[in-house]
A and B are shown apart, each in its own frame.
Chain A
Amino acid sequence: MKRYSAFAIAREALRHHTGWERAWRKATPKKKYDVVIVGAGGHGLATAYYLGKNHGIKNVAILEKGWLGGGNTGRNTTIIRSNYLQDPSAAIYEKARSLYETMSQDLNYNVMFSPRGVMMLAQTHHEVRGYERTAHANSLQGVETQFIGPEKVKELCPIIRLDGPRYPVLGALYQPRGGTARHDAVAWGYARACSDMGMDIIQQCEVTAVRSDAGKVRGVTTTMGDIDCDKLAIVVAGNSGVLADMAGFRLPIESVALQALVSEPIKPAMDVVIMANTVHGYMSQSDKGEMVIGGGTDGYNNYTQRGSFHHVEETVRALIETFPMLSRLKMLRQWGGIVDITGDRSPIISKTPLGGCFINCGWGTGGFKAIPGSGWATAEMIAQGAPGPLASAFGLERFREGRFIDESVAAGVAH
């Protein structure tokens, strides 16, 4: 792999950009791999990357039914934060956030991580108490956050209106090292590094069945034929229920649509990320100048990657109260992704009832921020055959045992 650098850009500029190589090889499936990963989203690719980098397992295929990064990874609004309430969440999300800090250097790929700060607005007294509690929990967990008052909110975000008619801004939970990153680049950077280690990324290859023998996985059937493996990892977000059905078990998951939208590009107006959970809306400004906006999920099971217009309308209406200047903006594009929601709003990183088959899912509306930490933990589980310290609390058995990692109360809109 040729390294990307300022020097490489200069060199290629002088020879009309004829020297760039493909970021990843086009691969055709082999008969057998040590590990097959279903789903080339951020979590599947990061899992493959850390399998190779941390555990030396490189005979790996990543199978993707569409194009890599074309699922939720390429559809999300890229908010990165780790100010969760429960200890297991704070540990894995903070691991992820800290890996984002050095990801561009690690992958030699500019993922444009921008730790511009994330504010979660407190717009009711209940939220003030909740976020003060989270700030205390975070300081015990070693996650740097603070509860700030309305003046500080206004200073950090001058376009905000503090004394809105329904929900005045009473303060915010502020994480200065939270922010955003370029979603496609995260997928592409991992893919390039995986391909460089000799792993096969096979796009347009849909898994249609899981083959097993005596309670142990043997391989998968795909639209490109049968592929055998010793270990199988299912990392397919909204399609988790479908793959679990193939592997013979059920999940505590419902798949629903989550939508996002962007405005026309404007001059820099806001250099922090703002989430307003009471009114169900959040916003950041992209480097292109678009206001990137999202809200709550749609209300019913759905696999179509589209949602209902009234949700978009509700989100925009809510945000206009707090950001009146938005009312003048035209909205340019809207899209949806299918998110995998669990009962306690926390993810699943787990062994499954089928031997040799592992699953990573349930990141729901908020898994982009977790990609490196989740890949790290999932690779460790696959390599060692059992979850390590980051993953152990996220097993499937927690639902039976009543050991929930309840983040639904802590974050109304969990992005």
Chain B
Amino acid sequence: MSDSEFKPVLLGRVGRPDSQTLASYRADGGYEALAKALKMANTEVIDVVKASGLRGRGGAGFPTGLKWTFLPKDVNGPIYLCINGDESEPGTFNNRVLIEEDPHQVLEGIVISSFATRSTTAYFYLRYEYGRCYRVLKQAIDEMYANNLLGKNILGSGYDLDIYLHRGACAYICGEETGLIESLEGKRAWPRIKPPFPAIEGAFRRPTVVNNVETMACIPHIMKRGPEWFQTMGIPKDANNPRDAGSYGPKLYCISGHVNKPGLVELPMGITARELIDKHAGGVWKGRSAKAVIPGGISMGFMSSAELDTPLDFNGPGRVGCLGLGTAAVVVIDDHTSMVDVLYNACRFFAHESCGQCTPCREGTAWSTKILERIREGRGKLSDIDTLLEISSSIGTIPGTTICGLADGAAWPIKTAINKFRGEFEEYIKSGRRSESPVLAGAH
């Protein structure tokens, strides 16, 4: 399917009058997928999701159906589904739009997924700052209870489910799945060591699945239109790489930064950054060109202007040294912007958000911020550049020195900024210049 033929799926109802109401959702065929799923065996639902090739939209791109099969077969007592709506990755706002504009699409996905995973309780962990989302969701959930879409014996199927809406604790780390679980339990969102993985011991030490909001939104469509339909979109598996799971389905790209038309667009997975900027975001602002592009939230690092033809699927950004697709939040940085300032801003964010458990992350993020602060004050040394690189290569789960991926996310902007823009850093330090410009938008 080409981009021009593509009709929005997840955003299909956005902008319609009363798109948040149950009545309008039902009028558009809502909850038919649920009715269909409830007539199947839960394992059959998992098989459909598996066959679709759906991969998690929360950042790591883990195959959703496969994750569900990690739950133990024989479980005495509850299994929980946690919905990750903490959406805090800078530049990311697709969960917000999905919830605010079409809550029932997400909620239908949650009921189907809960059924598939044998959960009778789902926790919706919502970023605290999303007040409107909270109100919209609350209303939608009330409507569901009133219409036998939640509670006991849903649609006469014998299946029971309760959804609890939980407002988050205002920290980026609450989005890391085990940080989320700890926070849900009322504790500091300190990510847990693994194993045990949440599928074995998650919320309240019970088997648990954590899935992103956008992942949930895909589920009703897959149930209704079939896994083959889902695979008509996106980039197929690399036949030469047995470990590649492909990048199928529609994807929400959040475009922000120095473009003429920032916003949320839905496209088949795999569009290039250049097309996204030029065709869908009105090009770089003020007639300038892009110096760097963040492919999927600041944790993924930077693509240089030479790398803009990289497809934004699960594999593309990795091929140009980025951490991955992340949240597909594309942030464009124009050629008038100093990479020193941009990197400083990124480092400051991670220093602020590091939960502080692991020494390498806690101290490494703060130290890199201090170094960049000093460079921006005109007191940098050339050796700082290598110190920054050394810090970035020694923090994170990839070298194995931290508990969670926040530190990898802190490392990648440093690595890619310095490897791809080293000349600019050297020139800046040698000039002894001080940064007058304010840093980019605040860390939250």
A binds B: no
